[in-house]
Amino acid sequence: MPSQKSTETIRQRLGRFVYRCSFDNIPPQVIEKGKASLINGIGIGISCHDIESAKMARRLAKSESGTARRNGATIFCDGSKVSLLSAAFANSCLFHSRAQEDTLGTTHAGTIIIPAALVLAERNGNSGKEVLEAIIAGYEIAGTLDRNLSAFTTPRGFRASTIFGIIGCAAAASKLLKLSEEQTITALGFAASFAGGTLECFAAGTMEWRFGVGVASREGIGCAMIAKEGGTSAPLAFEGKAGYLSALANTQQNSQNIGKDLGKVWEILNAGFKPYASCAFNQTPLTVALELINKNKIDYKQVAHINVRMSPYEANYPGMASKGPFSSIEGTLMSTPFMVALACVENNITLAGECQFDEPRILGLVKKTDVIADDSMPRYSAGIEITMNDGTKYSKEMKVEMSYYNFDMPRVIKLVKGIAAETGVSQDKVAKMISLVRKMDKLPNVRELTQLLGSCP
């Protein structure tokens, strides 16, 4: 007879890991990284309270389900109680509004998985330990999919965060809803069927990306709920002829590697944090640009040309090479020429700076900045050459992996406190949030945390 391993489907492989993932068997460094991701996700999320897309999501959630639900879930930075799915949508959109969330490969897993886990746990009374267990399981599922498939799905125009994040979210929800092993496997099959989201918005500078994570968070919970009710999903939801891999990746390549190392190689340890409110692919170009500017005291008025070399994967990502015209922050925060020009002109990166769509100093430098796809440049790396009017050239190259941005807990806390100060969030509130997350595995439930997050900044 063939072994179980030889006949095991991807749906089963992933679902069995999720079901069997136990807090007591998760290494301490993985637990600590889970807490760091929670602090980063929540801290940046509540600092997005005044961003229009977050307000839009809150208004939609309240209008859809009302505000008087005794057993509902909390809308963060608002306090209203709405349906579980509406709260997941609104809070996920909130977490993503600054575009400064963590990044797991190309997936912003925290914006989808963490809000879903918190509202589910609030409603169901799950312990802090169960929340950490669920979030980590969700990151592992999203991470193994991203690592094995993003090289195929992204060039086809699919957004990693939504097509991988929904499955990670379904995994986390399955843990918190205490599904059986078979129900968990079924939930991931539903998520594979429901996955979607494209990248055209980044080229257009429009808002779909801001709300896509909310849809993935809401639907990820829904997948687990349908499975709990007895729904059935396709056994070959991933590798079937009309399944997830064929539709989104157009290949079965790496299918045997998906989930192969779950529980041995912990994906969440590869999640990186963003020092700047911009696309993950712009973090290194901005780091390089600011170092060049500061070291050489570069006067932007004397700059003749800037070349930014990036990996082809990043250079060709929609919106990255855009030189405008710009009419929204959705376009500027993705554009490497704009972000590097902003760094040169202001020697700083702020959301206010990213909203200067018509600033002639920045736009003049944008025209002089080119993004070059360089096969020798790994992902998350960059090389910049700044040529001055007198012919002088300044150059710097950084070849790093995402682990370069894998900040330790003190640096995550410093980052979150700095963003809170920039956006007017109470430092006392941030300190209380950090204290609760640091002892998350000792909390009988997360309601003190969600109540804190429900209050206005």
pLDDT in tens, 203-232: 999 999 999 999 999 999 999 999 999 999
Q: What is the DSSP letter of 419?
A: H
Tell me which of 3.30.1330.120, 3.40.50.1980, 3.40.710.10, 3.30.390.30 is the CATH number of domain 280-402: 3.30.1330.120
Angle (deg, nearest 10), helices 128-153 and 160-176: 150
What's the rounded mean pLDDT across residues 155-178? Answer: 98
Mean pLDDT value of segment 410-430 = 95
Average pLDDT over residues 42-56: 94
pLDDT > 80? residue 380: yes
SS3 109: helix
Q: Give yes or no for a contact between 132 and 23, defined as CB atoms under 8 angstroms apart.
A: yes
List Cα–Cα distances, 79 to 73, 116, 118, in angstroms: 9, 16, 14
Nearest to 116 by CA among 147, 94, 140, 146: 94
Domain boundaries, the chain: 4-273+407-454, 280-402
Q: What gap in Å lies between CA 243 and CA 172, rounded to an integer? A: 22
- Which residues, 6 or more positions from 316, have their beta carbon under 8 angstroms from its beta carbon? 155, 373
- Which tokens sit at 102? 């963590």
pLDDT at 400 over 90: yes
Q: What pLDDT was estimated at residue 3?
A: 40
Residue 4 has pLDDT above 90, yes or no: no
Domain 4-273+407-454 has CATH 1.10.4100.10: yes
Using alpha carbons, list the distances in angstroms from residue 393 to 284, 339, 376. Answer: 20, 20, 21
Query: 208-228 and 109-124 helices cross at what angle (nearest 10)?
Result: 40
Structure tokens at 402: 């995402």
> How far is the first Cα of the chain from the last one, in angstroms, to the nearest whole number?
61
Same fold flag, 4-273+407-454 and 280-402: no
Mean pLDDT of the region 370-383: 96
pLDDT band at 65 (very low <50, low <70, confident <90, very high): confident
Quick count: other Cβ atoms within 10 Å of Cβ 435? Answer: 10
